[in-house]
Structure 1
Amino acid sequence: MQFSKWHGLGNDFVIVNGMKEHFSDYRQQALAVCDRNFGIGADGLVIILPSDIADFKMRIFNSDGSEADMCGNATRCVARYLYETGLTAKTAMTLDTLAGIIKPELIFENGKLATVKVDMGQPRLKRGETPMAGNPEEHAIHVPLEVNGKTYFVTCLSMGNPHCVIFVDDVATIDLPVIGPKIETHSLFPKKTNVEFIQVIDAHTLRMRVWERGAGITKACGTGASAALVAAVLNGHTGRKATVKLDGGNLFIEWADNNHIYKSGPAVEVFRGEYLL
């Protein structure tokens, strides 16, 4: 199997052209490929396929074998991969995902790639859209959630996948390997959830640590950073543009007047090769 290894701020993926490479069980392949001791090592396996409604279809499988609806960092990597491998000549393209059509764009300055900007679509704020238990029409903004005998105040929403955002004074004090999976699998979230702990640096800057659904601790999460800005605005912490500082680097997020979230950041190819099935 020919593959290419990419990362977006340390959130890493194995990308495979599924129009050339064929295997029957994506879940099992993800478990094998993403294993950091016995495989290539990655947070996820991304398969590029043809689509009837977009330029390409993107399927994303987490390191635990589960399929993700969407991933912002993977989207940036896929967009650059498609362009640089000659699969498309477009710098602005459409990707068919389980979360709907996503629109990444390669931004060039002086002939060099400066960043990859992704239209992440509109945030979905109702409990029923997240999904989250409770009145499906209500918004979950700064609501109490008890875990391990401690009460956290959470803001929950969907960016095509579920997010639980928690504002804290210092993200460095959070025992993420312990509390992350407890919230991910909490009974409030029927499809589990991504978990973001956010420290407000100032009105234009957020510091974030993330526990990703199906992947655990990662260095960055694009949909999570998008959800963090939305939650920060809803809780009065920031304006509608902010830099989100993650363990792997920075993303710039904007909640535009058209209600769409725009995310800009890097996408880097690490290596390519042949995986022996």
Structure 2
Amino acid sequence: MTFHKYQGTGNDFVIIDDRAEQFDTTDHARVAFLCNRRFGIGADGLMLLRNRAGYDFEMVYFNADGHPSSMCGNGGRCLVAFAKFLGIITNKAHFVAVDGPHEARVEADGTVRLKMIDVAAAQPAGVGEHDVFLHTGSPHHIHFLDPEEGHTLADFDVYGHGHDIRYDQAYDPAGTNVNFVEVPADPTHPWPVRTYERGVEAETLSCGTGVTAVALAASMRGAVSPVQLQAAGGLLEVSFEKHPDGRFTEVWLSGPAVRVFEGNI
């Protein structure tokens, strides 16, 4: 089997051209093996590119644990770059994912811009006063670090706190992704973010739907579109239109999507 490896700000993926639909999507153990960093190829997730009538392609996404998952923003951007590499698209894409149709554009400098779903107003997370919840194609809990507690993202226990919130009763049974945010002194500066991802069950270097959720939540704390987000793996940007009722439309996630290598396994 031929595979391709892509990464978007350190969020890395195994991608397979499965337009012939030969990959068994029910073989979760196989997906987990391919994503395993010690025994397989290694990735935060695996994607299949498939044909879909009425669209340029279909995105089929699996978490590193081998199971199908909700939308992955960086994965979607990487799959768009892969479609361009295959010659399926030129600079614009119209594809479908688990959360519905998406548009995307590939800029001259290689930046991939992905239109996300419309997002409902932020909700109190019910876990703490500095916490909110948003669904940006995937569920995201956002925790803003309290400066009075003396924590910075550099010394914060992302795994420990992220694991606890991910499995909190408030999110039974599916769980949630968890983002920790350091509020910059100037809201026009990049917002530092670290993310614990369900399905990977660890911190990842970046999460596209996560930084999207953070950018929208940051709009309640002085941020104005477009918002730059500093993930551990690099810089991403989110633009949006915010409505008086708190809803968000025209949500676009932008950043690099890099082809690393291809191989056979």
Q: Distance in 2 between matches of 1:57 and 1:21?
A: 11
1:30 corresponds to which residue? 31
Structure 2 distance, partners of 1:123, 1:26, is 32
> Quick check: 1:246 aligned with 2:223?
no
**Of 184, 195, 203, the match for 1:217:** 203
Partner SS state of residue 65, structure 2: coil
After TM superposition, the score normalised by the length of structure 1 is 0.85
- Detail structure 1 runs of 4+ shifted over 6 Å in the superposition: none
1:106-185 counterparts in 2 under 5 A? Answer: 106-108=106-108, 113-125=109-121, 140-141=123-124, 143-145=125-127, 151=128, 153-168=130-145, 169=147, 170-185=152-167
**1:271 has 2:249 as partner:** no
Query: 1:20 offset after TM fit, Å?
Result: 3.6
Counterparts of 2:241 and 2:111 in 1: how far apart (Å)? 18
Residues 124-177 of structure 1: CA deviation (Å, up to 9, x unaligned): 33xxxxxxxxxxxxx523x541xxxxx563110100110000101322232111
SS in 2 for 1:183: helix
Could you say which structure has the higher strand fraction? 1
Counterpart code for 2:101: I
1:196 counterpart = 2:173:
no
CA deviations 1:42-69 (Å, max 9, x no partner) are 0001011111342211111111122222
Is this contact kept in 1: 2:56–2:89, CA < 8 A?
A: no
Shift of 1:71: 0.8
Q: What amino acid is the match of 2:183?
A: V
Matched, 1:68 2:69: yes
Secondary structure of the residue aligned to 2:249 is coil
Q: What is the root-mean-square deviation in Å for CA atoms of aligned residues?
A: 1.7
Q: How far off its partner does 1:36 sit?
A: 0.5
CA distance in 2, matches of 1:152, 1:61: 33
**What is the CA–CA distance in structure 1 between the aligned matches of 2:192 and 2:176, rounded to whole Å?**
20
Which deviates further from its counterpart, 184-193 or 155-164? 184-193
CA distance in structure 1 between the partners assigned to 2:58 and 2:222 by the alignment:
36
Match for residue 39 of structure 1?
Answer: 40
Equivalent residues of 2:110, 2:257 under 8 A apart: no
Which is further off, 156-165 or 47-56?
47-56
AA aligned to 1:272 is E
User: Does the residue aligned with 1:46 lie in a helix, a strand or coil?
Assistant: strand
Q: Is the 8 A contact 1:2 1:21 kept in 2?
A: no
Query: One-letter code of the match for 1:203?
Result: P
Letter aligned with residue 268 of structure 1: V
Matched residue SS, 1:224:
helix
> 2:251: which partner in 1?
261
- How far the C-alpha of 1:26 sits from its partner, in A, is 4.2
User: Percentage identity across aligned positions?
Assistant: 31
Check the 8 A contact 2:20/2:50 in 1, yes or no: no
Structure 1 regions of 5+ residues with no counterpart? 126-138, 146-150
List alignment gaps of at least 5 residues for structure 2: 243-247
